Amino acid sequence: MLPYRDSRLTRIILVAFFLLVAGYAYYESRGILAGPSIAVTGRVMEVHESFIKIEGKADRISSLSMNGNPISITEDGSFSEGFALAPGYNRITLTASDRYGKKTEKAIEVIYTPSASTTAATASSSPATATSTSTIAPKSH
């Protein structure tokens, strides 16, 4: 008798083996198939502060940028970047790309309305203080 005779048990074992290999290959290739992802909290918000921090987590990326400017990320994919707001509507776009060229974008919409105390402080300040700038005179030889 040959050890590889055609039996039902052999077929079941071979099918199970190939299904296991295919499942493992799919598990390992999920990152390639899915592409990069960005998770941030508060995609639409109204704030009364002129400076906010954009925080979140990005997975399966090689680079991350905010409005076209690269930002740093930690090894686990976390990021935190400050952003100065203009009064009114602000749109912040996060763009992530992976090493295979896939890109994803996430937009954050922020409406900045200055609080009453901020506008009162600006209105009560003197014009000289509001427009003062420091200059450095060149050295004379």
Position 130 scores a pLDDT of 37
**Which pTM does this prediction carry?**
0.66
Domains of the chain and CATH, by start? 37-122 (2.60.40.10)
pLDDT tier at 32, thresholds 50, 70, 90:
confident
Q: What percent of the chain has pLDDT over 70?
A: 78
- pLDDT (tens digit per residue) in 40-69: 987 888 999 999 999 999 999 999 999 999
Is pLDDT above 90 for 9? Answer: no
Is pLDDT above 50 for 89? Answer: yes
- pLDDT (tens digit per residue) in 96-128: 999 888 999 999 999 999 987 655 555 544 444
Rounded Cα distance between 124 and 16, Å, is 78
Position 20 scores a pLDDT of 96
